[in-house]
Structure 1
Amino acid sequence: MGTAAKQIDETGNNVDYKLMQKPKSIPKTPGVYIFRNTRKTPVYIGKAANLRSRVSSYFLKTGKSPKTEKLMKEAASVNFLELASELEALITEAELIKKWRPKYNILMRDDKSYFYVAITKEKFPRIFITHQPRNISDSVQKLGAQRQTKISYIGPFTEGGTLTAILRTLRRIFPYCTCKENHTRPCLNSEIGRCPGFCCFDKKYSRHSSTAIPKNHYRESIKNIVAVLEGKRVRLFLELKKNMKAASAGQNFEKAALLRDQLLGLESIFAHRHILKHPSEIEFAQEDLSQKLKELFGTGRAIHRLEGYDISNISGTSAVGSMVVFSKRLPSSPYRYTSHAEYGPDKSQYRKFKIKTVLGPNDVEMLKEVIRRRFGHVEWHFPDILVIDGGRPQLNAVRTVLRELRLKNEDLRSVILTSLAKKEEELYIEGMKHPIRLQEGSGGILHLFQHIRDESHRFAKKYHHKLRKIKYKRD
């Protein structure tokens, strides 16, 4: 059992409210709350991003479901435990429900409404979410594993969306494979650093002894993810710090840097007060991201619209370009944002381009064509920031096009041109000699630019694959 779960389990917490009292002094922080009966037995366990708001809702005179009415009649007291983040709250809630199996947690949910994280016992384990751990052969089959593959489970968790978001965030720190079958070409996730690429080896190679070291690294990532989900945060932090110091002492600076980045990533997760409600959106730290962007680029104008671009082709065939748009959230925004995400994708503004003028594999020239065609549409809103997938060569190519276009349209002079290089996460900015290296400490800016780059890559790949399928059927 994790440290937080032990604390609330052993101490009964530092506050024990009679139900007649109004919980005004309960903090507005993430945490876990427990309703107990007169025998001090837990009858319901829940988690909350805001403890005061959630617990207070049980004291409302109207609007409660019949099952909640029954719970409140049986409950004699409620206590709680403050936690640093909603992630910790979700994990602690799962541990306590598993141990106590409270009466109303069972009555208010059937088996299918709980979620479990399943981890396969393969050479390179896969991770997925399931409702029913005793009947998951179909899920395993979809992932390409054998039906008889052994599986371990962590759970139950109460919110599938939050759990999915946690796994997506953890995958940025500890990459793992989700491909459904082995293949020889690199997968999309391996290209953006979300997958180590083991699934891209054929079966003969994966049986070769040369995979022994990377297999150990991969299993270490899986072990670390399990430690987070089981609430063993303190132990994991101590282990990573110990390994980082050992790597540094042994002058293995590359490994030490990787462990440092993993520690920073974990600290960022556990410091966040909120976890994503929608797994398709990025949750940024609760900060004035617009102001940080203005400071980074030295502009007095508000940043409302960012556009991301990428090219996808195979040796020049079925070549396409993508344009994705991220907009600043408005109070009446129709897009799906979490309550604190300041920028998010506006998919109604996405555009795709079939390359028309470039023959052969020349991504730079293809990118220049896409930019020319994009700014030929004066009816489309101009961006405040352009984000190109690539490094200095891609930025220079787009800059030559923008110079031509700015002579004809002065409004383009205010557009900020950037490019984000993969792996090193170096941000190149037009007019600056050296790139800025974005790290986990960069917070929302790093996540925003990563999301734009990865989304433009995904959108381009999707259109490219569509054209390839059409070409294959035609041929």
Structure 2
Amino acid sequence: MNKKSFELKLATIPTLPGVYQFFNDSNKIIYIGKAKNLKNRVSSYFQKTFPSQKTKALVQNIYDIKHVVVSSESDALLLENSLIKKFQPKYNILLRDDKTYPWICIKKERFPRIFFTRKLIKDGSEYYGPYTNYKTINILLDLINNLYPIRISNYNLSEKQINSNKEELSLRMLKKAGNIIILGFHIGDYSNSNEHFISEKDYSSNIYSVKQILKGKFAPSKKLLKKQMHRYSKKMDFENAQKIKEKIALLDNYQSKSTVVSSKLNNIDVFSILSDQTHAYINYLQVAYGRIVRFHNVEIKKKLDESDKDLLLLCIIDLRKKLKSNNKTIICPFDFSKLISAKFILPKAGDNKKLLELSKKNVALFKIEKLKKIQIVDPERHAKRILDQMKNDLRLKTAPIHIECFDNSNIQGSSPVAACVVFINGKPAKKEYRRYNIKTIKGPDDYASMEEVVYRRYQRVIKEKKSLPNLIILDGGKGQLNSGMSALKKLNLNNKITVLGIA
């Protein structure tokens, strides 16, 4: 990529966390990376000196750059891992192994065990994560074991096994009055030699509480921890009170799971759309086995007055065909189930909603990037698009080529002043800026001050036979708007200029 192309691309990359992809001249991904700040990270590759020959070779083969924005650096790490496994880029040697991030599993069994694993087995067990930090997993599991004693042995505790009493005597499982009595050998720490008595009902209740923690619902556990902390404090046991306080702090700072990867999101296509008067912008995210494996942005130039719904429908059909997606579930703002053979989800909350919001965030940034490119390459076209959009949004008869804006102020009720700033063809016309000292008003009277400055401004414009603006914008609500209109009426300019008040 030459310097000019890079500078243009860099100017549009956001300073947000995300993942970037480098493509060669054959449109093949040669490198995938993550970044806390996409603009800074990508620009670092194009310095005068290179940290290694590998980096130099990589940069010399970069022909295009694409990126996707995510919510956090942790999400970027997870997405990077997923995409590298999917595309196996040439320069991502270190991440080509089969390493996957661990999950916390609540096993589907009587008296469920809780442990971390890299394998997701579809046997009805529940998985939470994945986690990018082993310290986080250890903290969580330690916290859970301290709050709710959970068994750690892998003995078969089925009803049939307990009744048959085939386990060793040391297990000593007894069924008594509907309750299961379990030795500390099987619940909590192995070093605990005391028997721990718990009913199956109470154990299930503990598991429910653990699930709430793993989902990020910490209020019940925090309440319990605070009670423990106060109890230790009353006993003057400040060492243990401090340990509990630290656990509360860990709970406060902990993020339960990633918004990018979730085991609940399986084989889904996600689409979102954003449009203006002339163009539509569409983002596509593909989720496979709970992970984002592909993202794609499209810009469409409108030919007629096509609706977002019509454009998105055409784009969904086209992209799914080109990218060979057979996913049976589609998340998007509209329901096309009668036209496309798939289940459509219009999410209101939960993981599906988060995924749609991520797509919307990326399509909004994609639009901004496109407009920035136009602004750099063709500033006149950029200004025309903005003015045409203003014309339609404000229902004006013509595009507001000439705009004048007014504001007034005072210092603690005295020395009232006003200012007028001017925009021509979407650009500031600083030579036309004017500052006014209010002459006829004493004290703080914004309405009268606004009327005076508008009257003086256009009285002079008429006298000097200068062009009138297409649009006047007044800083203020209905009172200031009426004052400005009153001034124009005195000059016989009412109904000749559109006036807008911004409260």
**TM-score normalised to the size of structure 1?**
0.31
- Structure number with the bigger relative contact order (C-alpha 8 A, sep ≥ 6) is 1
- Higher helix content, 1 or 2: 1
* Higher percent of residues as strand: 2
Q: Which has the larger radius of gyration?
A: 2
* TM-score normalised by the chain length of structure 2: 0.30
